[in-house]
Amino acid sequence: MGLLRGVTLSYSVTVTPRGRPCTESGSMLSQGDRDQSLVGRALEGDKGAFDALFDQHLAMVRGEARRHGVGAAEDDVVQETFLRAYLNLPRLRNPARFACWLRRIAQRVSLMELRDRERALSAAMHLVEDLSHNRDHDQRVRDLLDQLPPAVRQPIYLHHVLGLDAACSARVMGLTPGAFRTRLHRARTSARKVAALQHLVSPTAASAQSCSEIARRLLSEGLAVVHGENPFHDWSLCRRKLEQAVQADPDYRLASWLLARKLSRDGDCRQALKLLRTLWKSARPDPWLSLTMAWTLDYMGRRKEALKWYALTAAMPSISETHRATASAGIERPQVPKARPPISSGLIEVPHDGWSAKASHDKLDPRYAIDGDRRTRWCTIGSGQAPGMWLRIDLGGQVDRLAGIWLDDDAGGESIYQNDAPRHCVVSVSRDGQRWKRAAEWHWQPNRYMEAWWKPVSARCVMLEQTAHNSPECWSVYEAHVYRSK
């Protein structure tokens, strides 16, 4: 027996000719009495007492290890068994039954060794199956190992490629066998994730890609379903792609930040906060990163912590007006996820039947803003908000007592983009689409949907016109909701 976490165990004990320890008076004690006495002394700090327990029960522990067929790992099992017994000795309720308690520990450690061996064999079969007969597969395995970080690659290489057992591999890495098994388990998990991600990206040629390349492709695929000229936004798929990108390359800061924003928007704030804190330690200060941290803390009701991050953002040099306004709004009042505007009981929503739409920027069809599907959007793609932008909605006929409108700019809370509402907007109404009458105006407020209400009028058309700058954020409308008075 070697060292047990700093406690040196010796292996000698004074015995009678029959191998039983004697009391000072020479009387013989039962096994339970001897164990009870030795355990009591060991708990009082007598290191020699545990040495005696080791000598008395070593043969039994070795017997359990051999009975379970652990083979060359027998010494590891013995070491682990007595280590666990030593560390957990204060928890032993009945010291007289030390032998039974130790036997159960030996059985559990032996079974754990067999399970680890089975898992190792299974992982080895997946990682190095037919290496000597299949050169293509050999190259794929080598490519996979090359993509893993050194801390992950080394235990797999030692154990599965060189064939070293846990004890030898642990000595090479300067670890205990138990610590090596833990490191190996984590390495296998990481390797399986990378292999799975390679398969998701390209079943035929993924092995030639690095982890960072896989992560960037996954991020590109995720943003493609919510960006650019694609009017249909699948935010659930975007989140899955972001999660896969972060798994492939945890150091990819853009993917981690976007995933944290999505997690926060979806209510998974604890997970988002963990990602954000890791990012803050590894990245240079960034206003969007600190604002996302503040929003997440506000969502969790941790107002004092959120205020510190808003103040930190406001104090950053050379930040945009949007950053400054958002930080100031956060300092003034807690920021919470956007909620559907409260609608008066005296109002009813106008059905979308027969509607049409036109816009100053029609690279994306403005009809997506009125199609009744919040997964589609119209936006001024490629152009930041600026005066003169407009969206006109024809309600398909005269609507009596037209009274208001609100715009969904974040897909009902699913979008990670929280600043696509118009900065300042004038709302006008018309009976014929030619002569317009100003009805209301809207001033931007953080975490609020654009809404405008006015005295009921009879009208057929509604026009929303931007009168302020908000670059580089574009103007997005996932769905326009129009109301009339009852």
**The tokens of 243 are what?**
């999660």
Task: Assign residue 19 a region (left: φ > 0; alpha: ψ between -120 and 50; beta: otherwise).
Answer: left
pLDDT in tens, the chain (486 residues): 343 433 444 333 333 333 344 443 344 567 888 888 999 998 888 888 988 999 999 999 998 888 888 877 788 889 889 988 888 888 888 988 999 999 999 998 988 887 776 665 555 455 444 444 444 545 556 666 666 777 777 788 777 766 777 877 777 777 788 888 888 888 877 776 666 655 544 444 444 456 777 788 888 888 887 776 667 788 888 888 888 888 878 888 888 999 999 998 888 999 999 999 988 887 777 888 999 999 999 989 999 999 999 999 999 888 887 788 888 888 998 888 888 888 988 999 999 999 999 999 988 889 999 998 888 889 888 888 899 999 999 999 999 999 999 999 988 888 887 778 888 999 999 999 999 999 999 888 877 899 999 999 999 999 999 998 877 788 999 999 999 998
- What's the whole-model pTM score? 0.55
Could you tell me how far CA 294 lies from the centroid of its own chain? Answer: 18
Nearest to residue 182, comparing CAs of 163, 204, 155?
155
How many Å apart are CA 349 and CA 352, to the nearest integer? 9
Nearest to residue 126, comparing CAs of 218, 186, 189, 177?
189
Class of CATH domain 129-208: mainly alpha
Provide the 8-state DSSP code for 157.
Answer: I
CATH no. of 347-485:
2.60.120.260
Q: Which fold has domain 3-120?
A: Rna Polymerase Sigma Factor; Chain: A (1.10.1740)
The domains spanning 3-120 and 347-485 adopt the same CATH topology: no
Spatial contact of 100 and 32, defined as CB atoms under 8 Å apart: no
What residue spans define the domains of the chain? Answer: 3-120, 129-208, 347-485
